[in-house]
A and B are shown apart, each in its own frame.
Chain A
Amino acid sequence: MTAFIAKRMGSALLTLLFISILTFSISHLAGDPASAIAGREASAADIARIREFYGFDRPITVQYLDWASDVLRGDFGQSYHYRQPVSALIMARLPITFTLGVAGLLFALVVGIPLGLLGAIRQNSLIDRFAVLMAAIGQAMPSFWLALVGIVVFGVTLRWLPISGSSGVANFILPSVVLGFFTMPAILRLTRAGMIEALESDYVRTARAKGLRPARIVLRHSLRNVLVSIVSISSIQLGSMLGGSIVIEQVFALQGIGWLGYDATVRSDLPVLQAITILVAAFYVALTLIADIINAFLDPRIGVT
């Protein structure tokens, strides 16, 4: 087990190193940061001065090592646009996106797992068809469209929920549900498929032959196996929620990380863009690492190979 965890951590660190090099080199090859800072009207001399001031004239490997050692100390540099430390900008906006992500995932789990379980236990029943339909629709709807329809129905027509801003709890209901609705199909399908497979397996047949009640079989024997895949998919989904969050924060005028990422992209604010990319990658890598470790405990067979 310890060897397995050590190996996974090693590969996680390697992935992050690779991503950081990739992010850094792509963003520096892509455009001249000096002219981006200077703006359109800057003269060549201005740009040259800025290039020297920020150290863009040094070899790219030196710049990378410099940047990477700062990042390791938690310093992501200064935003070109806001003239503030990037870490401060991110910390200020993190709570909004974090709330969205966690609330969205909770919604997806609370809706997806029970529907998937019920669907698997009563296959081809009405509730199963409803579950499959919900998954299909959830998968087919672009989240920004669902967000706009939600605004029209609950914000404009029914006037139940506020349609933009982040002043209260009610502001987060619609965006979280939209974000969660987009994650729910994967969780529902996985729960349902995993449960069907578990119910068909030999150990459940044995348990049934022993005369255990179906509900007990489901809860004690099958759910544990399904949990492994739910833990994995949830970590992947939570990690990739930022993509959905960029669009949803735009629609609902929520100033979270997704909004900051959009803003930084439009303004070519490289330090902010690099920081967000690295942090999202680190978050994803950490989540999958944790999920793998949880799963190694849930299913002892995993750690062996």
Chain B
Amino acid sequence: MKTALEKSPPLRRRGNTKVLVSGTMLFLFVAMALLAPLLAPHDPNAQDLAHRLFQPWGYAKHDPTHLLGTDGFGRDYLSRLIYGSRVALLIGLLVMAISGVIGITIGMTAGYFGGVTDQVLMFVINSRLSLPVFLVVMAVVVVFGPSLMGTILILGFLQWERFAIVSRASTQQMAGSDFVLAARMLGFSHIRIMFTEILPNIASSLIVVATLEMSWAIILESSLSFIGFGVQEPTASWGLMLAQAKQYIFFESWLLYIPGLALVALVLSINSFGDGLGRMMGGGRKS
């Protein structure tokens, strides 16, 4: 039996291929989102009740002008799919940015200073972990009304715990290392040590968290939109498309498969991109 150690060099190479493949996928999704007005064959919100529920290419009831068919309001499914990538990526990126700033600040502060600071912040992290996020988000949405920005803000302010836990643990490992001690002896301020000395060194594990957080935000948004607590009609969101598809699953199940597969493909490519990038940078992923 070979040990895992003997097999470690190819891991990095496989990380490379992984980054290449998932990076290309991700690039295509981003291009699709940015170029949506050019790529979409129709206005994603244009209803045409005379052309409801045309089926995609390859099905019996297909119309050549609608490659992926039309939804229950006669809106072009391909155009809505293309525009939906904008919502997904916007939510993923912004939630990741907000939760990243909050989580990394909390985690690094706790890990760097230790002691009472650490205990207090761990208490905050634990309290956050014990809150049922989904329920809290729903309650906040009821109060402030559902909107795209609202969804982004509330998810960003709630989903920082993974950033905090990982950056705390990584900072703890770094805090006693020689270069941090050297920086301290040179009289660097705590903030400077944290952001210029420690942060670059824990970046590889944070990248993995960042991508996981981004994909998790995308999944949460689609779930919220699906039950009516996220993005609202007529905005083209994959979660909303799935919510509508639910009514037709007995006869037109393709309505369900198309946005769902797009969602899975996007999330898969974000996750493997982060995983591969983390491996290339030498961080590796433990959990």
Name the residue of chain A whose CB is nearest to the CB of B143.
Answer: A30
B227/A262 in contact, CB under 8 A: yes
| A273: B residues at CB distance < 8 A | 135, 139
A26 to B268 CA separation, bound complex (whole angstroms): 36
A285 to B127, CA, bound (A): 9
B287 close to A151 (CB less than 8 A): no
Query: Complex Cα distance A143/B272, Å?
Result: 19
Contact with B along A153-187 (1 / 0, CB 8 A): 00010000000000000000000000000000010
In the complex, A199→B6 CA distance in Å?
A: 13
Q: B131 touching A246 by the CB < 8 A rule?
A: no
| A189: chain B residues within 8 A (beta carbon) | 287
User: Is B4 a contact partner of A186 (Cβ separation < 8 A)?
Assistant: no
CB closest residue in chain B, given A261: B135
Interface: A145 (CB within 8 A)? yes
Q: Is B61 part of the contact surface with A, judged by Cβ < 8 Å?
A: no
Do A247 and B223 contact each other (CB < 8 Å), given the known contacts A31-B143, A156-B249, A196-B4? yes
Nearest-Cβ distance from residue B287 to partner chain A, whole angstroms: 5
**Residues A145 and B242 in contact in the complex (CB < 8 Å), given A11-B123, A156-B249, A200-B4:** yes
The reply to whether the CB of B33 lies closer than 8 angstroms to some CB of chain A is no
Q: Is the CB of B131 within 8 A of A140?
A: no
Chain A residues lying within 8 Å of B123, measured Cβ to Cβ, are 11, 14-15, 18
A251 vs B223: C-alpha distance when bound (angstroms): 11
Contact yes or no, B223 A144, CB < 8 A: yes
A288 CA to B127 CA in the complex, in Å? 12
Is B38 located at the chain interface by the 8 A CB criterion? no
Interchain CB contact under 8 A, B271 and A139: yes
Partner of B135, one of A156, A243, A250, A284: A243
Interfacial chain B residues near A242, Cβ < 8 Å: 132, 134-135
The verdict on B130 contacting chain A, using a C-beta distance below 8 Å, is yes
Q: Is the CB of B139 within 8 A of A27?
A: yes
Is the Cβ of B132 less than 8 Å from the Cβ of A280?
Answer: yes
Given contacts A123-B4, A152-B249, A200-B5, are A140 and B129 in contact (CB under 8 A)?
no
Q: Are A285 and B249 in contact (CB under 8 A)?
A: no
Instruction: Report Cα–Cα, A140/B287, bound state, in Å.
Output: 15
Query: Given known contacts A142-B222, A199-B3, A247-B226, is B131 in contact with A19 (CB within 8 Å)?
Result: yes
Kindly state whether residue A113 has any CB partner on chain B within 8 Å: no
Interface size classification for chain A = 35 or more
Interface centre among B139, B226, B227 (most CB of A within 10 A): B139
Which residues, 1 to 47 on B, are CB-close (under 8 Å) to A? 1, 3-5, 7
For B136, list chain A residues within 8 Å (CB): 277
Which residues of chain A come closer than 8 Å to B53, judged between CB atoms? none
Closest to B267 in A: A140
- How many residues on the B side are at the interface (Cβ–Cβ under 8 A)? 46
Question: With A11-B126, A250-B227, A262-B227 in contact, do A140 and B215 touch (Cβ < 8 Å)?
Answer: yes
- Bound complex: CA A284 to CA B131 (Å): 8
**CA gap between A142 and B222 in the complex, in Å:** 8
Q: Does A78 sit at the interface, judged by CB under 8 A?
A: no
A198 to chain B, nearest CB (A): 10
Q: Does A114 contact B (CB under 8 A)?
A: no
What is the bound-complex CA distance between A246 and B271, given in angstroms?
A: 25
Do B256 and A277 have beta carbons less than 8 Å apart?
no
Q: How far is the CB of A163 from chain B (nearest CB, A)?
A: 9
Complex alpha-carbon distance, A260 and B1, angstroms: 53
Which residues of chain B come closer than 8 Å to A229, judged between CB atoms?
287
Q: Is B185 in contact with chain A by the CB < 8 A criterion?
A: no
Q: Which residues of B contact A144 (CB under 8 A)?
A: 222-223, 226-227, 242
- Report the bound CA distance from A285 to B142 in whole Å: 27
| Nearest-neighbor residue (CB-CB) of B239 within chain A | A142
Interface residues of A in 242-278 (CB under 8 A from B): 242-244, 246-247, 250-251, 261-262, 265-266, 268, 273, 276-277
5 contacts between A and B (CB under 8 A): A137-B268, A144-B226, A148-B249, A246-B135, A265-B135
Seen from chain B, the residues whose Cβ lies within 8 Å of a Cβ on chain A are 1, 3-5, 7, 123, 126-127, 129-136, 138-140, 142-143, 215, 219, 222-223, 226-227, 239, 242, 245-246, 249-250, 253, 256-257, 260, 263-264, 267-268, 271-272, 285-287
10 tightest A-B CB contacts, nearest first = A243-B134, A140-B267, A281-B130, A280-B132, A30-B143, A284-B130, A140-B268, A145-B260, A265-B138, A152-B253
Q: A193-B286, A281-B132 are in contact. List 7 more A-B contacts (CB 8 A).
A: A22-B131, A137-B264, A137-B268, A142-B263, A152-B256, A199-B4, A280-B132
